[in-house]
Homo-oligomer: A and B are copies of this chain.
Amino acid sequence: MKQAGNQRHWLSFGIEHLGMLGILIVLITFFGFSTDSFFTPSTFKMLYNQIPSLTVIVVGMTFALVVAGIDLSVGSVAALSGTLAGVAMTQWEWSLPAAALAALLTGLLCGAVNGVISVLWSVPSFIVTLGMLEIARGAAYWVANSQMIYIGAPVEWLAEPMGALGLSPAFIVAFALVVIGQIVLVQTVFGRYAIAIGTNEEVVRLSGVDPRLPKIAVFALSGLLAGLGGLFYAARLSAADPNGGVGLELSAIAAVVIGGTSLMGGRGSVVNSFIGVLIISVIEIGLIQIGATEPIKRIVTGVVIVLAVVADVYRRKLYETMD
């Protein structure tokens, strides 16, 4: 309810995000008590380094959902960008910066195509990005000749933990993008227009603001960030996998929606989406550490996702009556 229009006090901002954090903390505590090894630095290090790719993708997805669109192509675009970078570095012997640039541009291009087609021909973004999901996947197979590409050291440093906290460059970039994304959404004209477009595109148009450009920009942004996500995947695995990122769109959308962004557009918070990512990752890792069997893993994951959002609904109601 509040995230979007939220500009009243920093306090309410705190309550908003702390609420989501609360659910996360409950989860962490639960797993902490369930298995000895959960509360170890290595778990958190692992968590940090697991999430950069999903995180950057989720930043873009939040914007896509805020404008009442959706981007189903993120997984495929990530795979395409990653494999392209991989092929460039191993077969064409490009340097990392050049290959990374190519990957990002590829993502940007895919996203821009999504945006332009969906906006100019007024085709639902669901369909356009579903088409792109197939197209980018096909292109990834084609680029990589359907082979997994081992890249090795040249990209690995991106995912390598550094310093005392063990944060990788990829994590730092991802975290910075979350902060920047939130600021863009709340503090910039572009962000406000994105929210307005998601609430009521017709009213935006009637107000004399052209909604097409911001919408195209949002999809281009999502593509660009998917490209970056693909690069981070490659860094983490030291390899580029044309088959990677299948079903990633669902995880990304789930994280965003758990974070309280509406699928109907007009409301959203990048920070909460990030907490959504953390919630999903903590459940996943915690269940593996507990040693749950596959059926139990699935069932618990499902139940926790629903409960997290139910809890959030109650918390928000409480908060509203308070205010």
| Shortest Cβ distance from residue A19 to the other chain B in the assembled complex, whole angstroms | 15
A131 touches B305 (CB 8 A): yes
* Residue from A68, A137, A139, A306 with most neighbouring chain B CB atoms (10 Å): A306
Bound complex: CA A295 to CA B242 (Å): 11
Question: Beyond A138-B298, A306-B117, is A313–B264 a contact (Cβ under 8 Å)?
Answer: no
Copies per assembly: 2
Question: Beyond A68-B264, A123-B313, A313-B123, is A138–B305 a contact (Cβ under 8 Å)?
Answer: no
Question: Beyond A128-B306, A297-B138, A306-B128, is A313–B263 a contact (Cβ under 8 Å)?
Answer: no
Bound complex: CA A200 to CA B136 (Å): 36
Q: Does A3 belong to the interface (CB within 8 Å)?
A: no
B310 touches A253 (CB 8 A): no
1/0 per position for A118-162, CB-CB distance to B under 8 A?
000111101110111111111101100010000000000000000
Smallest Cβ-Cβ distance to A133: which chain B residue: B302
Bound complex: CA A122 to CA B250 (Å): 21
Question: Beyond A130-B254, A302-B134, A306-B128, is A142–B295 a contact (Cβ under 8 Å)?
Answer: yes
Q: Does A213 belong to the interface (CB within 8 Å)?
A: no
Interface positions of A from 298 to 323, Cβ below 8 Å from B: 298-303, 305-306, 309-310, 313
Bound complex: CA A263 to CA B305 (Å): 22
Hey, which chain B residues are within 8 Å of A306, CB to CB? 117, 123, 127-128, 131
Q: Does A15 belong to the interface (CB within 8 Å)?
A: no
Smallest Cβ-Cβ distance to A132: which chain B residue: B302
Consensus secondary structure, chain A interface: helix
Question: Beyond A302-B132, A302-B138, A306-B117, is A258–B295 a contact (Cβ under 8 Å)?
Answer: no
Q: Does A36 belong to the interface (CB within 8 Å)?
A: no
Bound complex: CA A123 to CA B262 (Å): 11
Q: Does A203 belong to the interface (CB within 8 Å)?
A: no
* Residue from A121, A130, A139, A146 with most neighbouring chain B CB atoms (10 Å): A130
Hey, which chain B residues are within 8 Å of A134, CB to CB? 298-299, 301-302, 305
Q: Does A235 belong to the interface (CB within 8 Å)?
A: no
A121 touches B263 (CB 8 A): no
Bound complex: CA A294 to CA B145 (Å): 10
Hey, which chain B residues are within 8 Å of A295, CB to CB? 138-139, 141-142, 146
Bound complex: CA A250 to CA B134 (Å): 12
Hey, which chain B residues are within 8 Å of A310, CB to CB? 117, 121, 123
Hey, which chain B residues are within 8 Å of A262, CB to CB? 124
Bound complex: CA A132 to CA B132 (Å): 27
Q: 4 tightest A-B contacts by CB?
A: A138-B298, A134-B302, A135-B302, A131-B306
